[in-house]
Structure 1
Amino acid sequence: MTNLKEPIFDIAQLAHVEVLSPKPEETVKFFTKFLGMEVSEVSGQSVYLRAYEDFYHHTLKVTEGRQAGLGHVAWRTSSSNALERRVNAIKASGLGRGWIEGDHGHGEAYQFTTPDGHLMELMWNVDYFQVAEDRKTGLLNRPQKRPDQGVPVRRLDHVNLMAADAGKSAQFMMDTLGFRLREQIVDDAGTVLGSWISISNLAHDIAIMHDPAGTRGRFHHVCYWYGVPQNLYDIAELLKDNGIFIEAGPKKHGISQAFCLYVYEPGGNRVELFGDAGYLIFDPTWKPVVWNMKDVPDKGDVWVGGELPESFWVYGTPAPVSETIKNQP
């Protein structure tokens, strides 16, 4: 093999996601009561939460907002030097916003946007979760006891964004930050309609999908992981009994091969729950899997469980009032 581009390993992982909610108390209740997540801290208009196998101070930040949507996505670098290298690359792209002092749970961070306007940040210094004595577990490789409320999710998995130009934003993430293309959807003209990219062995740490509304910077979903398919049936029953809107699932995706469930939290944001890991990638010369849109409805979006509803492809937050009425009861 020749002329292979030297890979960039400066981004280590998805660290946390901030979502905006016009109903913050109800949103927090959804994540704590039903998904078993725990509050790390409350500050101003924001609540910081984590799942029981998340090692950091938080992986989700819920902030009160006029509309549902994305606040920002945060990535941790692999070292302080890696942070400096990626900041320089972002500055060269013209999409840098500048440094912030930090936030609860992490030190200074460099903020930037994708070409589509999604706010992101990079940081190195993070605070680890400090468990109270009564919540310590004998399982020494787990941060705390398994929660006894709801059907507890185990860890943050990935985030999915909608973009007016999905191909451009994905390419930016690959060229500037070192993400690697795992799977992609294209139409007959070769236009990129969706990319699943990662900096880890996961099939995706982030997906970027075409927004048919042509709107910039919308949010599709945040995903938390169970690892056990039965948990999806358990949480689906619990949510249905409590009037939480289930958009689709449990189903098995073709793209990523993951067992999935999609729900809307009370503030209007979509949340995906994974019942297994799908597949993992260890091949350093992985050849991206490319789907043509004509194959997606029957094989790509769902391999088992029937097609996803139209709302999956068109609904994002913030959502126009007409779209909210159409897709959310």
Structure 2
Amino acid sequence: MAHPENFDLAHMGAVELFTPKFEESLHFFRDLLAMREVERIGDSAYLRCWDEYQRYSLKLTASDTNGVGRTLYRTTSEDALQRRVAAIEKAGLGHGWRDPEVGVGPSYEFEDPDGHLMALYHETEHYVPDDEDRPALKNQAAAYPGRGINVRRLDHINYLASDVTACGEFWSDVMMSRESERVALDDGGYGARWFRFHQKSYDVVYSADWTGERGRFHHFAFAPDSREDILKAADICLENGIYIEYGPYKHAINQTFFLYVWEPGGNRIEFANAQARLILDPDWPVVEWSEAERAKGQAWGMKTVATFHTHGTPFVANQEEIDRAALEGRAH
């Protein structure tokens, strides 16, 4: 169990996303979401949300497949970095130190029990706006774009896992994060677990992968400013031929107002208004939901769309047929 006083992790700093349709995916993030490209190295474009204090939020990489690459997490201090590195090495999941790269200083690379690649760092490069995006307000990282979906920052990430229980123990006991909510299965274990670093209700989520595969990806989320921005995002995606999977609607768990879409490379992306609910109680207990409670659907009664449980990246064999069967009620 995580120590209540330990907050060694600050936030998710950046995430790498693989796409087999690089130009289409780049258009989605840069033009529809109003992210700014700040660097292009090899097959990767580095993009930022307008109010991220660091240099970039997303590393978009051309690939033969889709899915998530390495996720970067910033620690609250250099001492915190060394504490978490020692714990990861003791758990036998460390890969070692990496040299400084775009936007970050030395980082320690590791994997979770399901094989997802991650890294911790503390030293970071703060974004310096130029004449094109210098803000009028000095407490803002860059100028408000005023176009597209206007994603302000990264919010959270959801990994698929072959063993949700083991991954949850890792984030609780090794990473020392706090669990906020979870779904308990009737036959034991957990179907999903939500973890937080500070007062946000969650930063990292694990959901059971029905395929049994390791290291796959469910989604990551951007935070716009309001519910109205998420409603506008649905219209923008509709007009631009972006597949809307689910929402806009409100989750029961953690009460997030959401919209899920599939970007052109096939990866699921969420727009989430999660900051409306904060956990201020330092002794807040874990909220546990049963399978029966989960089956009731989302906050206002809508059932979860079937592909939410079948679609993940990288794709498994016959992924499109599996998703189609789920929509038609023929899935497992």
TM-score by length of 2: 0.94
* Structure-2 separation of matches of 1:150 and 1:321: 34
Q: 1:6–1:137: structure 2 CA closer, same or farther, 3 Å change rule?
A: closer
Q: Secondary structure at the match of 1:133?
A: coil
Cα distance between partner residues in 1 of 2:301 and 2:24? 30
Instruction: Name the counterpart of 2:308.
Output: 312
Change (3 A) 1:278 1:253: farther
Change beyond 3 A, Cα 1:4–1:30: closer
Which amino acid in 2 is paired with 1:75? Y
Residue in structure 1 matched with residue 85 of structure 2 by the alignment: 87
Decide which of 237, 241, 244 is 1:243's aligned counterpart.
Answer: 241
Q: Cα distance 1:4–1:84, how it changes in 2: closer, same or farther (>3 A)? A: closer
- Alignment of 1:257 with 2:248, yes or no, is no
Structure 2 gaps of 5+ residues are: 328-332
Q: Is the 8 A contact 2:16 2:61 kept in 1?
A: yes
Q: 1:307 is matched by which residue type in structure 2? A: K
Shift of 1:200: 1.6
How far apart in 2 are the matches of 1:155 and 1:69? Answer: 20
CA contact (8 A) 1:89 1:176 kept: yes
Paired position in structure 2 for 1:122: 120
| 1:64-143 superposed matches below 5 A | 64-143=62-141
Q: Deviations over 1:213-241 (max 9, x none)?
A: 10100000010001311111211111111
**CA distance in 1 between partners of 2:149 and 2:3 (Å):** 43
Partner of 2:172: 174
Q: CA deviation at 1:138?
A: 1.9
Q: Secondary structure at the match of 1:98?
A: strand
State the match for 1:187 in structure 2: 185
**Cα deviation per residue 1:231-285 (whole Å; 9 max; x = unaligned)?**
1121111111111100000010001101000000000100000135241111111
SS in 2 for 1:256: helix
Q: 1:104 to 1:275 in 2, by over 3 A?
A: same
- Distance in 2 (CA, whole Å) between partners of 1:173 and 1:326 is 31
Query: What's the counterpart of residue 31 of structure 2?
Result: 33
Contact 2:2 2:178 in 1 (8 A): no
Cα contact 2:72–2:120 (8 A) shared by 1: yes
Out of 49, 57, 60, the residue aligned to residue 59 of structure 1 is: 57
Cα deviation for residue 305 of structure 1 reads 6.0
Which one of 6, 10, 13 corresponds to residue 12 of structure 1?
Answer: 10
Aligned pair 1:206/2:199, yes or no? no
Structure-2 separation of matches of 1:70 and 1:93: 23
Unmatched tracts of structure 1, length 5 or more: none
Work out whether residues 87 and 174 of structure 2, in 8 Å CA contact, stay in contact via their aligned partners in 1. Answer: yes
Question: What is the CA–CA distance in structure 2 between the aligned matches of 1:102 and 1:68, rounded to whole Å?
Answer: 26
Aligned to 1:197: 195
Superposition pairs for residues 215-230 of structure 1, below 5 Å? 215-230=213-228
Return closer, same or farther for 1:298/1:278 CA change in 2, 3 Å cut-off.
farther
Q: Report the counterpart of residue 297 of structure 1 in structure 2.
A: 295
User: How many residues are treated as equivalent by the alignment?
Assistant: 325
1:79–1:124: 8 Å Cα contact kept in structure 2? yes
Contact 1:226 1:276 in 2 (8 A): no
- What secondary structure is seen at the aligned counterpart in 2 of 1:304? coil
The answer to whether the 8 Å contact 2:2/2:173 transfers is no
Asked if the contact 1:47–1:63 (Cα under 8 Å) also holds between the matched residues in 2, the reply is yes
Seen in structure 2, the aligned counterparts of structure 1 residues 323 and 210 have a Cα distance that, compared at 3 Å, is same
2:323 corresponds, among 306, 322, 327, to 327
Q: Cα RMSD over matched residues? A: 1.7
Q: Is the 8 A contact 1:249 1:305 kept in 2?
A: no
* TM-score, structure 1 as length reference: 0.95
Corresponding residue for 1:163?
161
Deviating more after overlay: 16-25 vs 157-166: 16-25
SS at 2:88 equivalent: helix
Deviation at 1:149, TM superposition (A): 2.9
Aligned counterparts of 1:162 and 1:277: Cα–Cα separation in 2: 23
Distance in 2 (CA, whole Å) between partners of 1:304 and 1:58 is 36
Percent of residue pairs bearing the same amino acid type: 35
Q: Which one is further off, 54-63 or 8-17?
A: 8-17
Task: Output one character per residue of 1:74-118: Cα deviation in whole Å (capped at 9) or x when no partner.
Answer: 110111111111111100000001111022111110000000000
Mapped contact 1:259–1:278 kept (Cα < 8 A)? no
Deviation readout 1:121-164 (Å, 9 max, x if unpaired): 00011111110024212212111111133121111100000000
